[in-house]
Structure 1
Amino acid sequence: MMLLEFIVFGSWFATFGLVLATNNLASIIGTAYTLAAVAAIVAPMLLGALGDRFLSSHKGLGIAHLAGGAVMLTLPAVVRAGNGTLTLTLIFVYMLFFQPTLGLANAIAFRHLGANKRHFPYIRVFGTVGWVVAGFGVGWLGLSASVGLFYVTAIASFALGLYAFTLPATPPPARGARFSLGDLVGAKAFRLLRHRNFAVLMGCAVLTAVSLGVYNTYAATYLSALGIGNVAGVLALGQASEVVFIVTIPLVLKRVGMKWALFLGMCMWAVRFFLFIEAAGSGDWLAVTAIVLQGICNDFFLVLAALYIGQVAPVQLAAQAQGMLILVVSGVGAFIGSFVAGEIYNATVGAQSNPAPSDWNAVWALPIATAALAAVLWALLFRHTRGQEAQPLEA
């Protein structure tokens, strides 16, 4: 499940901006990723609420991917024709189907792990492997900047959509409970924000996700501007490093605890964009180093955050709580990052007829600032005793 989930995601999302730039649609890159973030705000909590009460999680996963694959098949002709408005519309519709599946996959994994939730990183590592397979595959096929990658995504989506129906039955945990209008937006999961640590985690996740949004939006285009070839393959090195670092999570948690492991992940987001700035004048190797830091940035932020929520979220709110993480990361944080970075890009890099790599520095200053702020707030406000198990929160 995790393998296919991230083959779907990684096959197109990493170099989508480069595809748009190659087809004379560079001006809508920021808008496209911003709409993807809007979909992450609108869709996951809704499907999470339905999944908690009415729809088996594995069936919801299957339906969403089958629908998403159908949308992907329409994109190549539209992008090739240079129709920016229709491209943005289709991307938004596709992400309405796809974004909830990230939270659903996590919820399914945690549900069937039961008391063995500490093994989640070993399950999640297959998602990282999937992204690596997708990146190297797209690069090997020469599709990094081609609309042909959308066909790869569609095939993978159909494969996962069918496979999802063979997963272990995952019935709604809150079946039979009274449903309210608030459940349509997953409002009950917001009750968890009354708990200090959960609220701090969500706030810092938003700030850190600004960095993630900027990276997803412009990393591929920047690598191309530096003259680096096989962009998809180079970006896949980042996911390959995740495979290495994700298996260290249990050891790191044992040594330093949840608080400082997450602190490390937040700090490294600032470091990688500083390396992007230095790469403009010091060589491509610094940019490649920044890509490889993906392992620490993602594993010690996204994976650990999902693990923490899996430990503390009440079972009846599990899907909504995981959906909230996707909302603040791929939704709110990514929206801010993509939108603001898009404005900065269009005013700086996009305004130049022949931009230099140093013109990108203004774009990278944004994620450095937000990641640094997140790390400071996390260190000061999150309370967690090393070696102590996180206690489940009251619903």
Structure 2
Amino acid sequence: MRSQPPNVAPQEPAASADTAGPDEAVPATPANGDTKLFVQLTVMMLLEFAVFGSWFATVGLVLATNGLATVIGTAFTLAAVAAIVSPMLLGALGDRFLPSQKALGLAHLLGGVTMLFLPAAVRAGGGGLVLTLTFVYMLFFQPTLGLTNAIAFRHLGANQRRFPYVRVFGTVGWVVAGAVVGWLGLSSSPNLFYATALISFALGVYAFTLPNTPPPAKGVRFSVGDLVGAKAFRLLRHRNFTVLMVCALFTSVSLGVYNTYASSYAGALGFSNVAGTLALGQASEVAFIVTIPFVLKHVGMKWALFAGMCMWAVRFALFVQASNGSHAVAITAVLLQGICQDFFLVLAAMYIDEVAPVELAAQAQSMLILVVSGFGQCIGSLTSGWIYDATVGAQAHSVPADWNTIWSLPIASAAVAALVWAFFFRLPRARRPVVLEA
């Protein structure tokens, strides 16, 4: 958004064979370029990722500093399990019964209350209680990632290519939150959970002021299968959608490893302001996300996503190189966050919005979160936790080189994702992608 006024839509690139969506593929709600609507959506994204970025990037360091290093892998695994359990249910409710903005508000208010109990639990060294509270909090938080996407796409209407310019403010929120946490010296302090609770309460209240986003499938007969979003799984009958989900699974294994141990590794390398250092990665997202329309026009959806998957492997290869103590190489790996995230998660959400039927919009977005933040990150955090315990954790005085075995896991998973995507995703013959049947 740097050079684009908030009330002016960015120039729409010409449709390419694998990026443009038909008018009937998006909700009927028009995107009128109204400044108020733009501000509402961008503030929503900013607060959503400020909540996430205020604690998630350095919670591993908090646990390690306070004598709970052995539960780091389990904590992130439980966060991923919560992503498996909760988003599809809330997505089904959002599609049929509960307006999305109200579901978003309630989830953050309840999550904020849960966060208030974490500082005392960490200081008391109660690993079991910390894990329980983390799991409960993530049950509330994980569905909100899909809900914010669904709300934004719904109100952007046919102009869904504006989504990157809304989503970039989420990145700004993460950067600001990380920078403030680092500046306040909370990177390794249990008090950072109080900051998260405060931001969560703010978003919980703010969500009720968002434009009404009624259930798109209201009145449609409800079945028990809707409780787990079963109808969204029907989209897996379509080859490209299945390939996307498989590649998202393998790529998010890398994401799970990064989220679990990046902060601890930065500490091992000797970085003092870990939260601020990792926030540089989110800052790079701001630079890359605004290039998405240009890249889609000239490269297309398939190869843009391919680049995002490949960069995850490159990123961890740089982490291996940084084990010799090179801060510059480590920072370069952190700065690849822009390509890794924007050309993976953001583009995947845009592709799903193009091809998913409107009545399954919330559930389809929740499925992406289920695969990425659920199964993929669960595999990544759990497996890397085992490797950590057998390597770094087994050393009385570990050195950065001891981490290299851990980084081999995300390198391999990202490489598999890139190969599967390159060989099995088929570009549609038509100028526009076909809207998938439910």
Pick the TM interval, shorter chain. Answer: over 0.9
Does structure 2 conserve the Cα–Cα contact (< 8 Å) formed by 1:135 and 1:233? yes
Secondary structure of 2:216 counterpart? coil
Write out per-residue CA displacement over residues 279-302 of structure 1, whole angstroms, 9 at most, x where no aligned residue. 001511111100000000000000
Q: Which amino acid aligns with 2:204?
A: G
Cα pair distance change 1:386/1:209, threshold 3 Å: farther
Report the equivalent of 2:340.
297
Cα pair distance change 1:387/1:290, threshold 3 Å: farther
- Alignment partner of 1:126 is 2:165: no
Which structure: greater helix fraction? 1
Report the equivalent of 1:170.
213
Q: Which amino acid aligns with 2:284?
A: S
Does structure 2 conserve the Cα–Cα contact (< 8 Å) formed by 1:308 and 1:390? no
Does structure 2 conserve the Cα–Cα contact (< 8 Å) formed by 1:18 and 1:145? yes
Alignment of 1:142-153 (within 5 A): 142-153=185-196
Report the equivalent of 1:94.
137
| Contiguous gaps of at least 5 residues in structure 2 | 1-43
Alignment of 1:68-79 (within 5 A): 68-79=111-122
Does structure 2 conserve the Cα–Cα contact (< 8 Å) formed by 1:257 and 1:386? no
- Alignment partner of 1:190 is 2:243: no
Within the candidate set 312, 315, 338, 2:381 is matched to: 338
Give 4+ residue runs of structure 1 displaced > 4 Å after superposition: none
Within the candidate set 61, 72, 78, 2:104 is matched to: 61
CA RMSD in angstroms comes to: 0.9
- Alignment partner of 1:264 is 2:307: yes
Alignment of 1:289-328 (within 5 A): 289-328=332-371
CA apart distance, 1:394: 1.1
Write out per-residue CA displacement over residues 68-119 of structure 1, whole angstroms, 9 at most, x where no aligned residue. 0000001000001100000000000000000000000000001001100111
CA apart distance, 1:346: 0.5
Q: Which amino acid aligns with 1:160?
A: L
Structure 2: distance between partners of 1:121 and 1:388: 22
Report the equivalent of 2:272.
229
- Alignment partner of 1:372 is 2:415: yes
Q: Which amino acid aligns with 1:72?
A: M
Within the candidate set 317, 329, 338, 1:274 is matched to: 317
Q: Which amino acid aligns with 2:241?
A: F
| Contiguous gaps of at least 5 residues in structure 1 | none
Structure 1: distance between partners of 2:344 and 2:294: 16
Q: Which amino acid aligns with 1:348?
A: T
Secondary structure of 1:266 counterpart? helix
Does structure 2 conserve the Cα–Cα contact (< 8 Å) formed by 1:131 and 1:239? yes
- Alignment partner of 1:220 is 2:263: yes
Write out per-residue CA displacement over residues 317-372 of structure 1, whole angstroms, 9 at most, x where no aligned residue. 00000000000000000000000000000010000000010000010000000000
Does structure 2 conserve the Cα–Cα contact (< 8 Å) formed by 1:258 and 1:384? no
Alignment of 1:2-151 (within 5 A): 2-151=45-194
Structure 2: distance between partners of 1:254 and 1:373: 26
Report the equivalent of 2:399.
356
Structure 2: distance between partners of 1:212 and 1:180: 34
Within the candidate set 195, 203, 219, 1:160 is matched to: 203
Secondary structure of 2:201 counterpart? helix
Structure 1: distance between partners of 2:413 and 2:238: 23
Q: Which amino acid aligns with 1:80?
A: R
- How many residues matched? 395
Q: Which amino acid aligns with 1:346?
A: D
- Alignment partner of 1:181 is 2:219: no
Does structure 2 conserve the Cα–Cα contact (< 8 Å) formed by 1:58 and 1:108? yes
Structure 2: distance between partners of 1:173 and 1:315: 7
TM-score, normalising length from structure 1? 0.99
Secondary structure of 1:349 counterpart? coil
Structure 2: distance between partners of 1:23 and 1:335: 23
Report the equivalent of 1:249.
292
Write out per-residue CA displacement over residues 15-50 of structure 1, whole angstroms, 9 at most, x where no aligned residue. 000000000000000000000000000000000001
- Alignment partner of 1:202 is 2:245: yes
232-241 or 385-394: bigger deviation: 385-394
Secondary structure of 1:365 counterpart? helix
Structure 2: distance between partners of 1:382 and 1:263: 10
Structure 2: distance between partners of 1:307 and 1:381: 19
Secondary structure of 1:167 counterpart? coil
TM-score, normalising length from structure 2? 0.89
Secondary structure of 1:202 counterpart? helix
Does structure 1 conserve the Cα–Cα contact (< 8 Å) formed by 2:179 and 2:275? yes
Does structure 1 conserve the Cα–Cα contact (< 8 Å) formed by 2:152 and 2:163? yes
Does structure 1 conserve the Cα–Cα contact (< 8 Å) formed by 2:325 and 2:400? no
Structure 2: distance between partners of 1:214 and 1:202: 19
Does structure 2 conserve the Cα–Cα contact (< 8 Å) formed by 1:189 and 1:324? yes
